[in-house]
Structure 1
Amino acid sequence: MNPADLHAVRGEILHFLADPASHGEAAIEHFADGLLLIRDGHVAETGPAGELLARLPADVPVTDYRGKLILPGFVDTHIHYAQTDIIASHGEQLLAWLEKYTFPAEARFADPEHARAVAEFFCDELLRNGTTTALAFATVHATSVDALFEAALKRRMRMITGKVMMDRHCPDFLRDTAAGGYAESQALIERWHGRERLQYAVTPRFAATSTPEQMRLAGRLYAEHPGLYLQSHVAENRGEVAWVAQLYPEARSYLDVYDRFGQLGERSVYAHCIWLDDTDRQRMADTGTAISFCPTSNLFLGSGLFDLGRAREMGLRVGVGTDVGAGTSFSMLQTLNEAYKVLQLGGQKLSAASAFHLATLGGAHSLYLDERIGNFLPGKEADFVVLDPAATPLLARRMQGAQTLDERLFVLMMLGDDRSIAATHVLGRAAWQRSG
């Protein structure tokens, strides 16, 4: 080892090698006193501190987080950065929410200064909550995409975003055209896709707000560029499902609309997926299309309860999304809290280990990024979050009676929030640290 290239982080280390829901204890690697060796922003080695320190050169710097829990950085697979300022807006379900709150807020992103200010706050808030990778919606404005990519680039975050494509059933001030949306997206792809840790997502808002021609061109964009993402919404709300059925009567289902336009496949991610049937689920599984489970917003908008058990049975890729601003917290801990409750209402159980897998390696897997992020195997990008199990008096008291790792994790996800994040590291470097 060349000590000049190395630094180490010490603390309780936990990461996942697979999904505990299917692989049990073999999926979990845990070091009560562990050491994470980092070289040039990537994981060099992970293991017991005593063993690794014994062969570490004396001049290698060691950051000491003993007493705290180190996990891979959280992966948020569905969030709207342009809705940051309408979080916690009262009283509507999906379609009314869009008209009353979302569209007026998104209109402001025609102003580059406003877009820049929100993007800076948004990225800082993600890091403050331990999130290091996000798949995010911007607005119809190219300036909104530029602002978010610029803010993420400064912080070296892994960010996937794209210009919303929306040429009908929306206010005139947010409407693009099929040809214009295609051309603007193409220019943004050329400017940003593959630049450092940034990747582009073709972003038709949802089938109801795009004409068939725009949907065709969105599918074409997705097919034209290697490694491109596609993100949208499907089957979130019963009223939305019925509306799409009227607009596309030739389609078998809401999901089938996207399929007909070539929008299912690897790196294609659909938020919500509540009102699907098994034919839809099988088609998603067969094409490698992923789901973003958004429990907080599904409860807040009264949309319904996601069936994680069935998605797993059918082999679907599933990650977790906070879905700010209908989601009510940037905190992945709070989002896992709501996921547990959603599944309880559906007669399903979510173990703490499985929940944290969803927020880390599971999210990375759903985004086809598990070769780069999601755990601490050698060569992975060294993004990680440091959790403080005594961040609040109640957490500290409850932890005194926690007997097992799974119990401690469960307490963290039920009682934890942004106060539980002691530090967030991006490519090995501290990107955010709690003061005091």
Structure 2
Amino acid sequence: MMKLLKGRVLSYVGDPFFEGVAATRLEEALVIHEGKIVAVGCSDDLSARYPAAESLDYGQALISAGFVDAHVHYPQTAIIASWGKRLIDWLNSYTFPEEMRFSNLSYAETVAERYLDLTISNGTTSFCSYCTIHPESVDAIFSAARNRGARIWAGKTCMDRNAPEGLRDSAQSAYEQSGRLLEKWHGKGRTSYVITPRFSPTSTEEQLEALGQLWAANPSCLMQTHLSEQTDEIEWVKSLFPTARDYLDTYERHGLLGTGGLYGHAIWLTEREKDRLKEVDASLIHCPTSNTFIGSGLFAMQALKSAGHRIGLATDTGGGSSFSMLRTMAAAYEVGQLSHSALHPSELWWLATVGSAKALRADHLIGNIAPGMEADLVVVDLASTPAIAQATARAEDIWQAIFPTIMMADDRAIRQVWINGKIAHSQ
């Protein structure tokens, strides 16, 4: 049945980093049918144009495109908020022991369902995930997302060195298993495969080369990895690749730099790296809660956006300390303050919706509210707690009303979530 949703409908017609709040639109209603948005506009006009539509009135709640999380590790769901280590220690102490368990399909399926429960209840409708080296982990998350109708990107994480026995594959098996999984899942409904070397330190040059060849043979796929997250990680990369010009060069020389590349963290970039990433129009993924939780550093959002980089926002579960994109927006604001460049709430919300969709090359499908877009929506209560309500009551415009929710809200603010035109969560 056609649905008419009434509320404060937020959409973007441009990039607020360059156009300010003029890039945003606030409407009264939208109409969805068969999983797509068919109209946006005045409530009375849409009621007259679509008299048979079932009407749902959300009052003063905000209706937005669902949040898009551009970099997660769903297998780390159970170890989120594990006590403070640096990156390499954190991987060895928490991540690798947990990822060993994903050779068991039943365990992988349990965690995949839990991950989706947690993220959908926080308003996330699309995400891009690393899996483990086990094909079972890939099948589990794709199956769980498909059953809920969610749009998902994911891939088998490839590692053939500097990882425990049981978490290493090889150049050949990484290529072959990734290829089979790609053929099984890529472009099937709302599922997309992502070629996934974890990061240079856990792949030999032979494996990086093999994955570069796989990407060249399948250019419709995205490729995800990590880049320049911590200074001691960069020193490690230098010792492992002594002839490389810089960290990015360890990917570039093996065909793993290009349009459709997703580079998580990207904090400590050299000028050459910035230039090359911009030149190929790669995506940089900002992970503010994990960058602060693991003590990595401050992402240079304003400088990189001003230079024209394509940037998405991500929770980085479970190095990130929250499943919530609201909390992630708040962390991005705090990081911006520490860098002396405060982000406006319109910019923060854009990063969690349109920006992440653009990073995933899917902004024609998700991340915004406009006719023809997929009906992935989140209905946000802007007065979900007494503290937020009293702040919102003083607001003089929509952004002053939204900002307290960005900074203080949790899953209680998520009144309803729609995925592919169907209600996926309600409270």
**TM-score interval, smaller chain:** over 0.9
| Paired residues for 1:358-397 under 5 Å | 358-397=351-390
Q: Which moved more, 1:273-282 or 1:165-174?
A: 273-282
- TM superposition outliers: structure 1 runs of 4+ over 3 Å: none
* Alignment match, 1:12: 8
- Of 23, 31, 41, which aligns to 2:35? 41
* Alignment match, 1:73: 66
2:302 is equivalent to residue 302 of structure 1: no
* Alignment match, 1:158: 151
d(CA) in 2 for partners of 1:278, 1:426: 40
1:176 partner SS: coil
d(CA) in 2 for partners of 1:123, 1:361: 21
* Alignment match, 2:270: 277
- Alpha-carbon shift at residue 374 of structure 1 (Å): 1.4
- Of 396, 403, 423, which aligns to 1:403? 396
* Alignment match, 2:174: 181
- Of 10, 23, 29, which aligns to 1:27? 23
* Alignment match, 1:137: 130
* Alignment match, 1:209: 202
d(CA) in 2 for partners of 1:226, 1:198: 16
Structure 1 residues 120-140: Cα deviation after superposition (integer angstroms, max 9, x where no partner) = 111111110111110111100
* C-alpha contact (below 8 Å) 1:282/1:314 kept by paired residues: no
* C-alpha contact (below 8 Å) 1:163/1:203 kept by paired residues: yes
Equivalent position amino acid for 1:9 in 2:
L
* C-alpha contact (below 8 Å) 2:212/2:255 kept by paired residues: yes
* Alignment match, 1:52: 46
* Alignment match, 1:230: 223
* Alignment match, 1:149: 142
- Alpha-carbon shift at residue 91 of structure 1 (Å): 2.0
- Of 271, 293, 300, which aligns to 2:286? 293
* C-alpha contact (below 8 Å) 2:65/2:368 kept by paired residues: yes
1:172 partner SS: coil
2:166 partner SS: helix
Structure 1 residues 323-372: Cα deviation after superposition (integer angstroms, max 9, x where no partner) = 01111111001011111111111111100000000000111111110111
d(CA) in 1 for partners of 2:169, 2:131: 14
* C-alpha contact (below 8 Å) 2:79/2:318 kept by paired residues: yes
* C-alpha contact (below 8 Å) 2:357/2:367 kept by paired residues: yes
Q: Which moved more, 1:373-382 or 1:153-162?
A: 373-382
* C-alpha contact (below 8 Å) 1:12/1:70 kept by paired residues: yes
- Alpha-carbon shift at residue 73 of structure 1 (Å): 0.6
Structure 1 residues 378-429: Cα deviation after superposition (integer angstroms, max 9, x where no partner) = 1110101000112111111211111111111211100112111011101121
2:162 partner SS: coil
Equivalent position amino acid for 1:42 in 2:
K
* C-alpha contact (below 8 Å) 1:265/1:288 kept by paired residues: yes
d(CA) in 2 for partners of 1:278, 1:336: 27
- Alpha-carbon shift at residue 54 of structure 1 (Å): 2.6
d(CA) in 2 for partners of 1:178, 1:124: 34
Mind listing any 5+ residue stretches in structure 2 that lack a counterpart? none
TM-score (norm 1): 0.96
* Alignment match, 2:346: 353
Q: Which moved more, 1:35-44 or 1:162-171?
A: 35-44
Equivalent position amino acid for 1:6 in 2:
M
Q: How many residues are treated as equivalent by the alignment?
A: 427
Structure 1 residues 225-280: Cα deviation after superposition (integer angstroms, max 9, x where no partner) = 14101101000011100000111111111011111111122221011000002221
d(CA) in 1 for partners of 2:202, 2:57: 51
* C-alpha contact (below 8 Å) 1:267/1:290 kept by paired residues: yes
Give percent identity, aligned residues only: 42
- Of 92, 95, 107, which aligns to 2:100? 107
* C-alpha contact (below 8 Å) 2:392/2:402 kept by paired residues: no
d(CA) in 2 for partners of 1:421, 1:141: 33
| Paired residues for 1:315-330 under 5 Å | 315-330=308-323
* C-alpha contact (below 8 Å) 1:17/1:375 kept by paired residues: no
TM-score (norm 2): 0.98
1:330 partner SS: coil
2:419 is equivalent to residue 426 of structure 1: yes
- Alpha-carbon shift at residue 38 of structure 1 (Å): 0.9
d(CA) in 2 for partners of 1:401, 1:68: 16
- Of 102, 119, 122, which aligns to 2:115? 122
d(CA) in 1 for partners of 2:410, 2:285: 21
- Alpha-carbon shift at residue 223 of structure 1 (Å): 1.2
2:211 is equivalent to residue 218 of structure 1: yes
d(CA) in 2 for partners of 1:220, 1:76: 27
Equivalent position amino acid for 1:211 in 2:
T
Q: Which moved more, 1:12-21 or 1:165-174?
A: 12-21
2:328 partner SS: helix
- Alpha-carbon shift at residue 56 of structure 1 (Å): 2.3
* C-alpha contact (below 8 Å) 1:266/1:368 kept by paired residues: no
